[in-house]
Amino acid sequence: MQTGEHSGYKIIAVDDEQGILDSLSIFLKRSGYDFVGITNPIDAIERVKEEHFDLMILDFIMTPIHGDQVVEEIRKFNQELYILLLTGHKDLAPPLDTIRRLDIQGYCEKSDKFDQLLLLIESGIKSIEQMNTIKRMNEELKDTNRKLEQSYLDTIQTLRYTVEAKDPYTRGHSDRVSEYSVLIGRTLDLPEEQINILRVGGLFHDIGKIGVPDSVLLKNAKLTDEEYAQIKKHPTIGAHILSTATTFQDILPIVKHHHERYDGKGYPSGLAGEDIPYLARIVAVADTFDAMTSKRPYRDALPIERVKEEFIKGMGTQLDPSITDTFLQLLDQHFSEIQEIMEKYD
């Protein structure tokens, strides 16, 4: 073995016999390891807390605490340290279940010769090298995935803006739906995770309209049955566009089902009642509100009192009655917040 072959790997040995540590120091430094020897196990625990070590050689029978107690303490804050346990005799080794529970990677009997110990150390270092390689590859993969996801998100954002840029009457629609959905979600005391899904789902709920012909999407007159069939495809198209990215998995039910009706007469799946995903039902209320309060080529925005009347008519048929009732309370009690959103993207 060549000196310096293992330079960079740090080994800490803990044994209350200084002679053992001195011998290990000579032996391991000659093999190229960075070595620290400590006689007091309590001091060793503190040293491992403060400093990185790749591998620990640990005597089992020590004072004031035994090796298994040392490992017990270390595993509370360090799960990765590779530990080899030394015993004066194999009959004095801790039980196998203790070794497994504390994730002690190996043990051997003490000897004047260090050949067996060196083999275990070299095997341990190889395992550490493999684990470090795997960790590095995982980090590189995560970084690559993050970049791919961000690139995909940027592309989808561009598509979203493209959809809304086509039609000046729907500009800001998705942003408003997103904010209305969040407002409803917070009123319903939903957890933050679901609030975030509502926020993102609202932003991208109409992304599938990128696949609807402009002649249909921008038509000012009443749509024919065939043209309406084209419009009804946009939830499915949107879900398909977003389905390949893990970033968007949580919002797919919103994108696909925000046009379902509570009475089962919606699209694309004809789901009814509580079979419609809950967050999609929230976005449906927000989407309906924005549709009624936005100016269209064929009509002006509806006044709020008329909007309330339409919501009451749609309870239990088009929209979830409980969510609708919550939103009507919002309109009565917090209309200023809703008005701010309406004007924000005007």
What residues act catalytically? 209
Contacts of 210 (CB under 8 A, 6+ apart): 159, 162, 163, 237, 241
Contacts of 121 (CB under 8 A, 6+ apart): 11, 28, 33, 55, 57, 84
Q: State the Cα–Cα distance between residues 6 and 29, nearest whole angstrom.
A: 9
Q: State the Cα–Cα distance between residues 95 and 79, nearest whole angstrom.
A: 20
Q: State the Cα–Cα distance between residues 209 and 217, nearest whole angstrom.
A: 8
The candidate with the shortest Cα–Cα distance to 254, out of 186, 192, 174, 330, is 174
Burial (Cβ within 10 Å: 0-12, 13-18, ≥19) of residue 218: middle
Residues linked to residue 11 through DSSP beta bridges, in sequence order: 35, 55
The candidate with the shortest Cα–Cα distance to 27, out of 39, 45, 11, 15, is 11
Q: State the Cα–Cα distance between residues 153 and 244, nearest whole angstrom.
A: 12
